[in-house]
Structure 1
Amino acid sequence: MISFNSETDFHLANEDAISKWISETIVAENYKLEEISYVFCDDEYLHKLNVEFLGHDTLTDIISFDYSVGKIIHGEIFISTERVADNAKDYQVSFEEELNRVIIHGVLHYCGYKDKTESEAKVMRAKENHYLSLIT
């Protein structure tokens, strides 16, 4: 099950299509979906989580909490729509494209992909681009 929630007035368009796309990505990566809860929020909300749970006093666009066991995906993904909007401007892409990239980025972390090193980030970006090309 995939749920979309918001701590602001943000509402995700095309929830059914996005859910289907996320589910198909998980299957393609040979994982099974149990539950992912997305929470859309602002910078202040996500910054507080970043400080409290990760000890990072910085702004970020996404924080994921992974409760998966083996190949069964279960987690919470918090996304700052303010950060996504700023990043979309910086990268000169639409808000929707950047939001979809962040949405699938969290899922790819659950599927075992990392992005701490340059080589890991390159693989992550290639996977993001691949799955972004499949969204309908």
Structure 2
Amino acid sequence: MIEIDLSAQGRWDDGSDWQSLCEKAVAAAIAVAPFARLTETAATLSVSVRFADNAEVHALNRDYRQKDKPTNILSFPMLDAVLLESLANTDDGEILLGDMILAHEICGTEAAEKNIPLPQHISHLIVHGTLHLLGFDHMTDHEAEAMEAMEIKALASLGLPNPYIEY
């Protein structure tokens, strides 16, 4: 079972079903990763998602990544990826995968620039952030290609298009 602890600031309260969107996007990301077996355990996979504003994300980016600017999403894994494989045999309890925080203004601007609905862009970012929680990164070309391939596959399972194709 996947449990999403969602909190949102006022600007995110637009009538969208962010809870369901996050649940589906996290599940899709886990399903395409090598850790898909985690969803077959009796343990609860827990992810915290915070929908915030640029200022909050900016402060966290500065304090934790030494980047003095806002960004669209930050992910804070709770477990080393090496431990995740062994947790696939867990028969109960809770597995805390980590936390994600998204900046409303940046996400909205990016969605508008891509000419896509905000929920579609957020689905992509939640998939992307979940893969970070699972230990994936995009620091090298090889890592980026592998991560993008998983994102494309996860989004396709949600009926969403490849976000890396330029139209």
| TM-score, normalising length: structure 2 | 0.71
SS at match of 1:128: helix
The answer for the alignment partner of 1:5 in structure 2 is 7
Root-mean-square deviation (CA, aligned residues, Å) is 2.2
Q: Structure 1 residue 21: deviation in Å?
A: 4.4
Matched AA of 1:95: L
Higher relative contact order (CA 8 A, sep 6+): 2
Does the aligned pair in 2 maintain the 1:73–1:110 contact within 8 Å? no
- Choose from 61, 73, 80 the match for 2:72: 61
Cα distance in 2 between the residues matched to 1:105 and 1:17:
14
Match of 1:25 in 2: 29
Unaligned runs of 5+ in 1: none
TM-score (norm 1): 0.85
Find the counterpart in structure 2 of residue 40 from structure 1.
Answer: 51
Shift of 1:110: 1.9
Percent identity (aligned): 23
Per the TM alignment, residue 117 of structure 1 is displaced from its structure 2 partner at its CA by: 2.1
CA–CA distance in structure 1, aligned partners of residues 28 and 123 of structure 2: 14
The whole-number CA distance in structure 1 between the counterparts of 2:8 and 2:57 is 12
Judge conservation of contact 2:32–2:154 (CA < 8 Å) in 1. Answer: no
Tell me the SS of whatever aligns to 1:4: strand
More moved, 17-26 vs 30-39: 17-26
| 1:123 is aligned to 2:134 | no
Unaligned runs of 5+ in 2: 39-43, 85-94, 160-167
Cα separation, 2, equivalents of 1:24 and 1:129: 10
**How far is the alpha carbon of 1:9 from its aligned partner?**
3.5
SS at match of 1:133: helix
Q: In the alignment, is residue 86 of structure 1 matched against residue 109 of structure 2?
A: yes
Task: Note if contact 1:8-1:42 (Cα within 8 Å) is conserved in structure 2.
Answer: no
Higher alpha-carbon Rg: 2
8 Å CA contact 1:66, 1:74 repeated in 2? yes
Partner of 1:50: 61
Deviation of the 1:118 alpha carbon: 2.6
Q: What's the offset of the Cα at 1:59?
A: 2.0
Q: What is the 5 A alignment of 1:91-106?
A: 91-106=114-129
Measure the CA separation in 2 of the matches of 1:25 and 1:102. 11
For 1:60, give the aligned amino acid: T
Question: Aligned partners of 2:67 and 2:138: how far apart in 1?
Answer: 17
